[in-house]
Amino acid sequence: MRSLLTWKVFFVLIIVVSSFIFSIPTILNLKDTNNWFYEKKINLGLDLQGGSHLLLEVQNEILIEEEINNLTIFFRQFIRDENLIINSININKQNIIINLNDIDDYNKIVSYGNKNFSNLEFRKDNNIIFINLSENYKKRILESAIKQSLEIVRKRIDESGTKEPLIQIQGSNRILLQLPGIKDPERIKNLLGKTAKLTFHMVDDENQNSLLNNTPPPGTMIMQDYIDENIFYLVEKRIRVGGENLVDAQPTYEQNSPAVSFRFDPLGARKFGKATTKNVGKRFAVILDGKVITAPVIRSAITGGNGVITGSFTIQEAQDLALLLRAGALPAPLEIIEERSVGPGLGSDSINAGKTASIIGFILVCIFMILLYGFFGIVANIALIVNLFIIISLLSLIGATLTLPGIAGIVLTIGMAVDANVLIFERIKEERLKNSFVIGAINTGYARAISTILDANITTLIAAFILYIFGSGPVRGFSITLSLGVIASMFTAILLTNIIILSWFNISKPKEIL
């Protein structure tokens, strides 16, 4: 018995001491971002520390329109190459409308479309051809867009410094965000509201007079300045380099003013070098989400793939722009369709209510156990305290986010934690009536109660596992705290109380128990 007790004592001591140590950062609320130990603590959820709840919707219509616009360019080029005569070609959001001059050209256009694009549908009405995307292709585009948007939103939120956000897809085209403890919700909304589509275009300085009558020559477009809405630029439609070739962007300083440095991948570097080599002395416009950030004059060829974006930036704006460029462009704009804010005051009230409920439940359970089992009840209460420290330390180690349902799980665990001890103590009572030896009753009581304890707690763990798999957010938080509580209660009931009671028996040699 003593050899078995030795390894048990050693194992239990390691667990108990470790639980006390790793509970310290959470209990004392220690803060030191450069210390690994201090960072291992429980994070409070949105309902406990306040923050923002946002529901974003991917603008699918714009995505389909862009796809139709891209297809139109190819069909226009085909019509020019084949010298086909048409009356007009127009875009109507969901389809391309081609008004033919010669109905015999219908087969040529359909043949070209089927040969080069496998996801188009054609419909003829007299001399008019309607071309639109198939429903399956639209579905694939939208599914890809929501997944890509989720990853980009996650990158932007993570780089903004928000800890433990909840980011998940909701429905077919929406993204749910819960951002606990956020101090500047407007900044986050600005980050999420920008598509961050970056392109580089040459400025057409030779035809600047067309800005006066708002009639850009073919192949050009009029763009507004990013800062001053009264300034306009005439730029080429042709994209010399796109943001998809960007691999890094960092805030920096240029002539003592905040700026953003960027770096292209090898393909982007070649495109950028080619464009700057051929256009020395001309202006190069940097366009973000349809507005010109800056349009500097190219002083010399830039062949290294590196550059700097300057403008009237504040330090925060330069940091945010670099963040957006690093995270990548959204496939389609996101619209905030629901916004809720939870103040820290409400969160504080929830924490206080949770503390009060936990303390009252703990005290009542302790009193009940002492009145019913005396010294054994005190042992059960010691195990209950250790049980709570084990739960806190485990939640701290995994960096869990505690919500109100999580607190409910802990309160429930307080009641369930003594359940195993009740089974053991009652079993010891029964064995004592049948066995004349106290030590025999204790050992048999523990041995025969284990199977019942395992059966009861494993079924609870199965239920908690199912809640975790099929639940989300607060439901998962409840299942995690419940699971950890059940595991901790089995440890304290089967091992910890056994060691304490056997140690007490070896020291005091009682004639009677319970």
What are φ and ψ of residue 239, in 5° steps? -90, 115
* Residue 100 pLDDT > 90: no
Average pLDDT over residues 255-259: 84
Q: How confident is the model at residue 386 (pLDDT cuts 50, 70, 90)?
A: very high
Q: How confident is the model at residue 346 (pLDDT cuts 50, 70, 90)?
A: low
pLDDT at 264: 85
Interval 413-458: pLDDT, tens = 877 778 888 888 888 888 888 766 778 888 888 888 888 888 888 9
pLDDT at 179: 80
- Whole-angstrom Cα distance, residue 388 to residue 413? 9
Q: Whole-angstrom distance between the N-terminal and C-terminal Cα of the chain? A: 22
Average pLDDT over residues 474-503: 86
Interval 269-307: pLDDT, tens = 888 888 889 888 888 888 888 888 888 888 888 888 888
SS3 for 329-372 is: CCCCCEEEEEEEEECHHHHHHHHHHHHHHHHHHHHHHHHHHHHH
Q: What domains does the chain contain, in order, with CATH numbers?
A: 2-48+345-508 (1.20.1640.10), 61-134 (3.30.1360), 196-313 (3.30.1360.200)
- The closest alpha carbon to 441, from 451, 452, 450, 428, belongs to 428
**Helix (H) / strand (E) containing 462:** helix 438-470
In angstroms, the Cα distances linking 227 to 199, 230, 383 are 17, 9, 64
- The closest alpha carbon to 234, from 250, 210, 260, belongs to 210
Average pLDDT over residues 475-484: 85
354 compared with 275, residue with greater pLDDT: 275
- What average pLDDT is seen over the chain? 82
pLDDT at 347: 59
* Residue 462 pLDDT > 90: yes
Would you state the structure tokens that stand for residue 161, as one six-digit string?
Answer: 């410094």
Average pLDDT over residues 30-44: 70
| Percentage of residues in the chain having pLDDT higher than 90 | 4
- Whole-angstrom Cα distance, residue 353 to residue 363? 15
Look up residue 472 and give its amino acid.
S
Would you state the structure tokens that stand for residue 366, as one six-digit string?
Answer: 């302790």
pLDDT at 474: 72
Task: Return the bridge partners of 53, or none.
Answer: 178, 340
Q: How confident is the model at residue 1 (pLDDT cuts 50, 70, 90)?
A: very low
| Percentage of residues in the chain having pLDDT higher than 70 | 93
Q: Which range has the worst mean pLDDT, 19-28, 120-129, 207-216?
A: 207-216
492 compared with 36, residue with greater pLDDT: 492
Contact 148, 162 (CB under 8 A): no
Task: Return the bridge partners of 338, or none.
Answer: 55
Under DSSP, is residue 144 helix (H, G, I), strand (E, B) or coil?
helix
* Residue 131 pLDDT > 60: yes
pLDDT at 361: 81
- Whole-angstrom Cα distance, residue 321 to residue 88? 41
- Whole-angstrom Cα distance, residue 446 to residue 450? 6
pLDDT at 320: 83
pLDDT at 466: 92
Contact 27, 392 (CB under 8 A): yes
Q: For the residues of 199-266, what is the DSSP string, one character each?
A: EEEEB--TTTTHHHHT-PPTTEEEEEESS-TT-EEEEESS-SEEGGGEEEEEEEEETTEEEEEEEE-H
* Residue 85 pLDDT > 50: yes
Would you state the structure tokens that stand for residue 294, as one six-digit string?
Answer: 């800056």
Q: Are strands 291-294 and 284-288 parallel, antiparallel or unpaired?
A: antiparallel
Sheet holding 220-225, edge to edge: 232-236, 220-225, 291-294, 284-288, 198-202, 241-242
Interval 319-339: pLDDT, tens = 888 888 787 777 778 888 888
Q: How confident is the model at residue 3 (pLDDT cuts 50, 70, 90)?
A: very low
* Residue 251 pLDDT > 80: yes
**Residue listed under structure tokens 């603590």:** 41
